Amino acid sequence: DVKVTQSSRYLVKRTGEKVFLECVQDMDHENMFWYRQDPGLGLRLIYFSYDVKMKEKGDIPEGYSVSREKKERFSLILESASTNQTSMYLCASSSPHYGYTFGSGTRLTVV
Amino acid sequence: QQQVKQSPQSLIVQKGGISIINCAYENTAFDYFPWYQQFPGKGPALLIAIRPDVSEKKEGRFTISFNKSAKQFSLHIMDSQPGDSATYFCAASKGGTSYDKVIFGPGTSLSVIP
C-alpha cells in the first residue's frame, strides 16, 4: 500500500513562529501536493511539486513556502504563522497509476 | 473557471435510502472527475471516478452520473448504510487522470441514520 506520512497529527504554534509541516511518501511518486481543508471551502491547493527542487504555486500560496530536496519528502513552511492559518493541512502524492494518495492530515492551531 | 460547485453542504438520509450529491463545473478542459470519501481523522480516499466519454459508472452501491452538455455530475449511494457516513468531495482534473493537480468541491457531510 502507498503510504503518505505527515509527521504531526496536531500542532499548536504561536503567532509569528516559523512552522514546518513534513510529508513523506514511500512509493517513489513524482508529484506531491499540499492542500488546506476548511469547513465549507473544501480542499484548496497551496503548492505542488512535480520533481525534486521544483515547486509551483497553487490557488492560495500567500504566507506559505515549500521545499523538496528529496523525491520522497515535501515540506510546507509557514514563514510567520498567523491565526488565519489555523486549519487542517493535507499532503498528497500521485503517480499515473495510483492517482492521489493523501496523508491523514495535520491539524494546526495558531494562537 | 477553475471552480467545482457541490451541493448540498450536508445531507441526512435514513438507512436503506438513496443519497444524492450534485456537482457542477465550468472549465471544459476538465476530463477526469473523481469522488473522494473522507472519514473523521483520515485523509480523503478515492471512491470512484468517471471520464466524460461515458454517462454513468457504477461500482457496487455507488454510481456516478455524468451530463457533459450541462457540465454536471452526481454521486448516488444506493441502500445507504451508517458506515457511509462521511464527507464526500467531488473533484475535477485535466489529463484524464488525477495524476495532475485536482480541484475539489467544498464537500458534503453525509449522515446515514438507522
pLDDT for B29-81, tens place per residue?
998 999 999 999 899 999 999 988 999 999 999 999 999 999 999 999 999 99
C-alpha span between B111 and B80 (Å, rounded):
10
Per the structure block, which three cell numbers stand in for A97?
497509476
Quick one: pLDDT band at residue B96, thresholds 50, 70, 90?
low
A9/chain B closest Cα distance in angstroms = 9
Of A40, A100, A103, nearest to B102 by CB-CB distance is A100
| Neighbour-count burial of A14, counting CB atoms closer than 10 A to its CB (0-12 exposed, 13-18 middle, 19+ buried) | exposed
B8-26 pLDDT tens trace: 999 999 999 999 999 999 9
A41-68 pLDDT tens trace: 889 999 999 989 889 999 999 999 999 9
H or E stretch covering B56: strand B56-59
Find out whether the peptide bond into A61 is cis, omega within 30 degrees of 0: no
Helix then strand count (H, E) for chain B reads 0, 11
**What are A's interface residues with B at a Cβ cutoff of 8 A?**
4, 31, 33, 35, 40-45, 48, 58-59, 90, 92, 94-96, 99-100, 102-105
Q: What is the dihedral of CA A39, A44, A47, A51, to 10 degrees?
A: 110
Q: What secondary structure letter does DSSP report for A7?
A: S
Contact: A96, B99; criterion CB under 8 Å: yes
C-alpha span between B42 and A6 (Å, rounded):
11
